[in-house]
């Protein structure tokens, strides 16, 4: 059941971005003649792949005082090149909100462009875009209560969008 919710959440991010016509959802300039997303970073002058995105998130988050929390949710193998999840152990951070803000600031200095910002009742969700990827950075809760911090990035290229749709459809009845 958790894997199905994973896929649904990721597909929702991809479809939301693609459907909104925002910077991260545009297919213009993405992908090669075969529609694959792997050509997009080279065409855009960068070289973003899942490993690069993971490293950027990890470097920014650990520099801000976070340590990675082992994740028991597995990303389906077909989506591993299309989706990154990096969850810090917010309990170990001296000030999780400050570490979250510092992580986002470091990412924006590294070329991630903030496209959306939502804050309400102790929750902050920011969308950052870079070379065809969208990163949802969220901080929910307050000190001395339950705190959840997540960084989830998805490749918005047509090849990954197709894989997310297929995985969502496959897990629809689960």
Would you state the pLDDT for residue 33?
32
The per-residue pLDDT for range 12-60, each reduced to its tens digit, is 444 443 433 333 333 333 333 333 333 333 333 456 999 999 999 999 9
The answer to whether 137 and 64 have CB atoms below 8 angstroms apart is no
The per-residue pLDDT for range 50-90, each reduced to its tens digit, is 999 999 999 999 999 999 987 766 788 889 999 999 999 98
Would you state the pLDDT for residue 174?
63
- Whether the per-residue pLDDT at 1 is higher than 80: the answer is no
Give the Cα separation of 158 and 105 in Å (integer). 29
Residue 168, number of CB atoms within 10 A of its CB: 18
**Helix axes of 50-63 and 96-109: crossing angle, nearest 10 degrees:** 130
Q: Which residue has the tokens 């297919």?
A: 27
Backbone φ and ψ for 19, nearest 5 degrees, come out as -75, -25
Global pTM value: 0.73
Note the Cα 12 to chain centre separation in Å.
12
The neighbouring-strand residues paired with 154 are 83, 134
């Amino acid at each position: 059941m958790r894997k199905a919710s994973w896929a649904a959440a990721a597909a929702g991010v991809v479809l939301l971005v693609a459907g909104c016509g925002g910077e991260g959802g545009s297919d213009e300039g993405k992908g090669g003649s075969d529609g694959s997303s792997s050509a997009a970073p080279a065409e855009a002058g960068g070289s973003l792949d899942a490993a690069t995105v993971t490293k950027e998130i990890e470097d920014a988050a650990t520099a801000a005082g976070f340590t990675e929390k082992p994740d028991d949710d597995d990303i389906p193998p077909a989506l591993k090149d299309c989706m990154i999840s990096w969850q810090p152990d917010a309990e170990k951070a001296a000030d999780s909100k400050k570490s979250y803000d510092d992580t986002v600031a470091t990412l924006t200095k590294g070329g991630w462009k903030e496209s959306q910002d939502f804050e309400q009742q102790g929750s902050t969700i920011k969308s950052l875009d870079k070379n065809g990827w969208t990163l949802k950075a969220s901080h929910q809760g307050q000190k001395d209560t339950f705190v959840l911090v997540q960084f989830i990035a998805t490749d918005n290229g047509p090849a990954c969008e197709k894989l997310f749709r297929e995985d969502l459809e496959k897990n629809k009845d689960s």
